[in-house]
Structure 1
């Protein structure tokens, strides 16, 4: 187990926290990492393994527009572009991700994992007000979901080692600006 994650988890009041991994799904890995498996998956599995002893929820929130794209809208430019790929019909997790049967999986009809899902309500019912988050891509799901969660007054811990964006300049810029003002960067 990675001592880095254990040290950082010890800094979090885990009794009111949940771990959320966003868009760690087969379609994303196929599109972005078809040529090589990135160390990102190993980092995510280390984070999950470090989190499990807390006994707190592990949540996987993946983008899915439905088998027949029933959640797609032709008014949403991003969604329209993604439907042309033939992907994102289901929230199938990435192969090799350390998922257990009791983990929660959300199929998210938009990039923001809270939009169109019961995620926020489910967290509220459990008294969860602290989120440990990571995701692919920084300029998409991470930015959108962190912004929403910040506006909903969650305390957010964003795990940098487990975030990725194909545009490194944008990725670095977001961590310096938008993320740093909304989350504690781990």
Structure 2
């Protein structure tokens, strides 16, 4: 007789209940393919890179639209995907006509997702995240690697590697935005 173990995948509804537990309220979790995964606490370097991105992006985007939707650690999910709720390090949403989410999750992927590689992350993990975002509607993903001082910029059908001396251009996702890659790295 053969027995097969059946892995029970966590749904988004169960994940939300998990997050409401008092012991989980101040911790950082994601739901990835039906599994609850705790995000590591960011290092000082990670926080500085995120802040430098935000400080450069926000004024540019605010000039385009004062109701800019840009922020760190915003939980996102694709409607209908009951096994995923992700938290990119930075999310930008071009559409400001939808109601602003004041709790829980934004029911769509960001137009831009930025992930900053921490020492405990593997490039493969970050690439899988990027592929998930792109497959679900994100138009651009930037993987910023402080150790290598480079960006991997992914768009549907294209991957570009930019080193610290290169200039990143935002294309149609961030029209008119430019910065040297080195500007975000301490």
TM-score, normalising length: structure 2? 0.34
Structure number having the greater helix percentage: 1
Report the TM-score, using the length of structure 1 for normalisation: 0.34
CA radius of gyration, larger in = 2
Looking at secondary structure, tell me which structure has more strand per residue: 2
